[in-house]
Structure 1
Amino acid sequence: MRYSTLGNSKLNVSRICLGCMGFGNPNIGQHSWTVDENTTHTIVKKALDCGINFFDTAIGYQKGTSEEYLGKALNKSAARDSVVVATKFIPRSDEEIENGISGQQHIENMLNSSLSHLNMDYVDLYIYHMWDYRTSMYEILEGLNNQVKKGKIRYIGISNCYAWQLAKMNDIAQAEGFAKFVSVQNHYNLIFREEEREMAKLCKFDNIAMTPYSALASGRLSRTSEVLTKRLNEDSYAHLKYDSTAAEDEKIILRVKEIADKYKVSMTQIALSWLIRNVTSPVVGATRLEQVEDMVKAVDLSLNEEDVKYLEELYRPHNLVGVMAQNTGVSSDKNLVWMQNLKR
């Protein structure tokens, strides 16, 4: 395993981050294909043995049971200071807003729940999971900074945002002396490369780590289309992200297969090797032991420039999908509340 510093933090992370969305009670939450507590422990132990020290979960994954399963697995198998644990909080609910729960109180409540699930005193990286258009930037940043000062968070990250949002948030943090975002976790892989327009350039300029999710396009980059899996059949959110461009994406996927055959390795290794060239640590999920072994091998696989060009040249611009496709209200007055707060 190789390691890298996570942006402007002092965290040393493995070049692969184990994504934990596939862990949790399958009978509750969004996904029916998640694995149980014992399987989670086996996979986490395998990841640790392979040198992975970076783990990503969220309170929104299977209603907190992903956090619970991960926390139990890590507490059994690793010293707390030997791993980097990231989790995420979601925006305020309608009910919270109606009941007068502030953005800062919401963050504290979410964090305390996550720490309880994980059975930990702090998280290394606390991630703003998706943009809350009903809460000001200042409120979010001050709420996060308060928890950093309490020692419950070491560093903060952000996910599912535009480059202008990340830039503006860090500008406010700089001006106010708040903790700044050291990482961004957005949608980025070989068949969805819209992050290269602006976000990748911002991150390179400001030394913000990119830790993209959907690194294998929900498994589509790890196999050809005729291979069926439980997740492929049941992951409705992945269908929303990828079905509309499946025909053009398939041409790239077949090139991944071609290069994999050339190197005599798996398609997973090719797709991840390409991505690792461009980011600090992609978030890669696993529900089987062999998937962990495969992702780790990608770290030491180097593609030549000719192969990279061959993999990239068929890409065509894609429309934003998933969470980002819904985040279109950038002209709303609620998005500009931060301007008033800057006068404080």
Structure 2
Amino acid sequence: MNYKLLGRSGLKVSQLCLGTMGFGTEGGWGADKETSFEILDAYADAGGNFLDTANVYKLGTGEKIIGEYLTNHDRDQFVIATKYTLKDNNTNANASGNNRKNMMRSVEQSLQRLQTDFIDVLYLHIWDHITPIDEVMRGLDDLIRQGKVNYAAISDTPAWVVAKGNTLAELMGWSQLIALQVEYSLIQRTPERELIPMAKHFGMTVTPWAPLGGGALTGKYLRGESGRVKAESNRRDANSERITRQVMAIADEIGATPAHVALAWTTQQGFSCIPVVGATNVEQLKDNLKAADLILSSEHITKLNDVSKITLGFPGDFFNEDNVKVNSFGGFYDKVEKR
């Protein structure tokens, strides 16, 4: 396992992040505590150190399992990322959302479940469309100053909100957001319209969730296998199947699995990207970790980019028009370095 810097920080994290949303059996699926411990052992043995969880995963069981695991292991070996926003109870109107009250309450409870004094990376989980972003940024900075959180990050939030938050933080001397977690895969490339360009500008690492499209990109549904993704989902529509068949063809050609190919693609797109890879058994984890060693050729990257290409809409497609390039660069477009 190699290590990458998380955003514009000096924090070193493994190139594949272990998603722990499946730790716990609530909801009729997932890994029990013993299996979760085995997954954590295998991940650590491979050099992995980056764990992704949230206050609501498996009704809090996910954090509890990690906390119990850490009581018998070196806490400082791991970079623990958790999230706040979503409700963990229905007691009052402020038991959910991005507001400071819920942030502070959620963090205290996550610290208890994780049995630790600090959270390495705290994500805002989902934007609530009502809390001022300056309230969020000041709250995150206060937690960092208190030593309860080391770094701030954000998930599932419009690009303009994230950009405003980081700009305010820079102006006010607050801690900036270093990572952006969004759904991103070969069958979900719409973050390329605004979110990923914004992340590149601010030097944020993108940590995609569902990099395998809920398992669709492994080809299991085309093989007639069962899974949690419903047949009417856009992860299993004609376009997704077309993309998956190309992934499977390349996998066959190079002697890899479709999962390896799909994961490797996310890390070779020209920006800092650490996919969040979930597992509910050790064999699944060990197989996914093999993607860390796979480097796709430029030819294969081109094939995958072409089969999964999306329209950028306005202004992205407008900027790519030849006349716009000529008028904006005076005939020097191909001779000027691009950021």
| Deviation, structure 1 residue 32 | 2.5
Match of 1:81 among 76, 85, 96: 76
| Alignment match, 1:293 | 286
| Alignment match, 2:194 | 198
| Alignment match, 2:248 | 257
The two structures have a TM-score, normalised by structure 2, of: 0.85
| Alignment match, 2:67 | 71
| Alignment match, 2:9 | 9
Q: How has the CA–CA distance of structure 1 residues 196 and 100 changed in structure 2, closer, same or farther, with 3 Å as cutoff?
A: closer
Q: Equivalents in 1 of 2:21, 2:108: separation in Å?
A: 20
Q: Equivalents in 1 of 2:160, 2:248: separation in Å?
A: 36
| Deviation, structure 1 residue 102 | 9.4
**SS state at 1:309 partner:** helix
Question: Counterparts of 1:108-119 in structure 2 under 5 Å?
Answer: 108-119=104-115
Aligned length: 309
**Unpaired stretches in structure 1, ≥5 consecutive residues:** 320-344
Q: Residues 157-190 of structure 1, C-alpha deviation per residue, up to 9 Å, x if partnerless?
A: 1000121111011111122222110000000011
| Deviation, structure 1 residue 147 | 0.9
Aligned-partner residue type, residue 288 of structure 1: N
Aligned-partner residue type, residue 22 of structure 1: G
Q: Equivalents in 2 of 1:142, 1:121: separation in Å?
A: 20
Contact in 1 for aligned 2:185/2:213 (Cα 8 Å): yes
RMSD: 2.4
Contact in 1 for aligned 2:67/2:116 (Cα 8 Å): yes
Contact in 2 for aligned 1:91/1:131 (Cα 8 Å): no
In terms of Rg, which structure is larger?
2
Contact in 2 for aligned 1:124/1:154 (Cα 8 Å): yes
| Deviation, structure 1 residue 134 | 2.5
Aligned-partner residue type, residue 127 of structure 2: W
| Alignment match, 1:337 | none
Question: Counterparts of 1:49-128 in structure 2 under 5 Å?
Answer: 49-76=45-72, 78-91=73-86, 96-97=92-93, 103-128=99-124
Contact in 2 for aligned 1:90/1:130 (Cα 8 Å): yes
4+ runs deviating over 4 angstroms: 91-95, 98-102, 238-241
Q: Relative contact order (C-alpha < 8 Å, sep 6+): which is higher?
A: 1
Question: Counterparts of 1:187-336 in structure 2 under 5 Å?
Answer: 187-227=183-223, 232=227, 234=228, 240=233, 242-243=235-236, 246-278=237-269, 279-317=272-310
Q: Equivalents in 2 of 1:101, 1:197: separation in Å?
A: 26
Identity of aligned residues (%): 33
Q: Equivalents in 2 of 1:99, 1:203: separation in Å?
A: 29
Aligned-partner residue type, residue 78 of structure 2: V
| Alignment match, 2:25 | 25
Q: Equivalents in 2 of 1:228, 1:11: separation in Å?
A: 42
| Deviation, structure 1 residue 304 | 0.8
